[in-house]
């Protein structure tokens, strides 16, 4: 586990259906588009924000991925999703195949100042801490102070003056709609992450960050 330093986003969701009280998630690996799809079955309802994947239309947004990358041995085979995988919802139209953990901030709280829209304050965790949160299913939004201390929460100031805010704005719009659904049996957010971009001069170990772009990833279980 300690050797993992990035998330691989190579398994893309392209359709979701419902059969026999189960949601069926169909996905493919980028380099194996011509192969039969992965077939994941879940007893939980997919989040409201991904209901568009039930429709046969193109240009679906937000993007959705399976993590960790599943073995090619289960391609074409019905596989139980719950307790084995995360469903990643990405509020962006472009993401690198590899997302380094030192470019991710795991969010506990975002503070927006109406009188200063050129910055946001974030309370969260970084790097290997984010990996532990994700794989151990520790949710930063819970109120367990012991967990928060162990996760080494940091305070970030994110300067938005030079950033493309399209992705961030769309996240807030979609997130508002999604939080209003609260359906019984629906997948829940296990973590929200800010991807600060691939600029080699940026790191989640910095307390002041001025990115050119901000992308939001949500991990569902």
Q: pLDDT per residue over 96-122, tens digit each?
A: 999 999 999 999 999 998 888 899 999
Average pLDDT of the chain to the nearest whole number: 85
Q: What is the largest distance, in Å, between two alpha-carbon atoms of the chain?
A: 54
Whole domain around residue 134: which residue ranges? 101-168+188-220
Q: Are residues 130 and 205 in the same domain?
A: yes
Q: What is the rounded distance in angstroms from the CA atom of residue 207 to the CA atom of residue 221?
A: 29
Mean pLDDT computed over 139-165: 73
Q: What is the rounded distance in angstroms from the CA atom of residue 5 to the CA atom of residue 133?
A: 14
The three-state secondary structure class of 173 is: helix
Instruction: Kindly report, residue by residue over 31-76, the tens digit of the pLDDT.
Output: 776 789 999 999 999 988 899 999 866 678 899 999 999 999 999 9
Instruction: Using the predicted structure, report yes or no on whether residue 130 has a pLDDT greater than 60.
Output: yes
Close Cβ partners of 210 (under 8 Å, ≥ 6 residues apart): 158, 159, 161, 162, 163
CB 88, CB 9: distance < 8 Å: yes
Instruction: Kindly report, residue by residue over 182-207, the tens digit of the pLDDT.
Output: 567 889 888 899 999 989 899 999 99
Nearest in space to 99 (alpha carbons), one of 28, 9, 168, 205:
9
Q: Are residues 159 and 199 in the same domain?
A: yes
| The pLDDT value given to residue 122 | 96
Q: Are residues 87 and 13 in the same domain?
A: yes
Q: What's the whole-model pTM score?
A: 0.86
**31 vs 3, higher pLDDT:** 31
Residues 171-177: contacts with CB under 8 Å, at least 24 apart = 171/91, 171/216, 174/49, 174/62, 174/91, 175/49, 177/48, 177/49
DSSP secondary structure of 107-124: EEEEEE-TT-TTEEEEEE
CATH number, residue 73: 2.40.50
| The pLDDT value given to residue 30 | 86
Question: What token pair was written down for 188?
Answer: 């829940």
Among the three residues 43, 67, 91, which one is the final residue of a domain in this structure?
91
């Amino acid at each position: 586990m300690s050797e993992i330093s990035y998330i691989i986003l190579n398994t893309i969701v392209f359709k979701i259906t419902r059969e026999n009280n189960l949601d069926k998630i169909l996905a493919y690996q980028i380099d194996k588009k011509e192969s039969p799809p992965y077939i994941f079955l879940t007893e939980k309802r997919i989040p409201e924000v991904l209901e568009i994947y039930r429709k046969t239309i193109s240009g679906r947004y937000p993007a959705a991925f399976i993590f960790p990358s599943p073995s090619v041995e289960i391609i074409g085979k019905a596989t139980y999703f719950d307790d084995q995988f995360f469903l990643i919802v990405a509020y962006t139209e472009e993401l690198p195949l590899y997302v380094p953990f030192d470019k991710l901030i795991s969010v506990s709280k975002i503070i927006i100042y109406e009188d200063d829209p050129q910055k946001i304050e974030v309370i969260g965790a970084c790097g290997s801490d984010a990996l532990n949160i994700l794989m151990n299913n520790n949710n930063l939004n819970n109120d367990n102070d012991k967990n928060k201390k162990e996760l080494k929460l940091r305070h970030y100031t994110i300067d938005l003056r030079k950033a493309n805010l399209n992705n961030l704005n769309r996240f807030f719009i979609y997130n508002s709609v999604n939080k209003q659904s609260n359906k019984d049996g629906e997948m829940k957010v296990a973590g929200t992450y800010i991807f600060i971009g691939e600029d080699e001069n940026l790191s989640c170990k910095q307390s002041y960050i001025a990115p050119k772009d901000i992308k939001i990833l949500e991990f569902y279980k």
